[in-house]
Amino acid sequence: MYMKSYLLKRIPDDLWENLKILVDKKGMTLRGLILTLLRKEYEKNDLESM
């Protein structure tokens, strides 16, 4: 669960609450949400390094 604690440190509490609401509405799993966030972060970093 290292990954989860790392993400929790990076995500502000208010944003985390919004994410939880989003997860409930969309029925998306937290794992799916985290993977999506990581993918976006990775793509962003990838573009910056070009």
Rounded Cα gap, residues 6 and 27, in angstroms: 23
> Can you give the pLDDT at residue 41?
77
What is d(CA 34, CA 43) in angstroms, rounded to the nearest whole number? 14
Helix, strand, coil shares of the chain, percent, nearest 5, are: 85, 0, 15
Token pair 């990838």 is found at: 46
Torsion of CA 15, 21, 25, 30, to 10 degrees: 70
Please give the span between the terminal C-alpha atoms of the chain, in angstroms, as a whole number: 32
pLDDT, tens digit (0-9, with 9 covering 90-100), for 1-50: 456 666 666 767 777 777 777 666 666 677 777 778 778 877 777 777 76
* pTM attached to this predicted model: 0.35
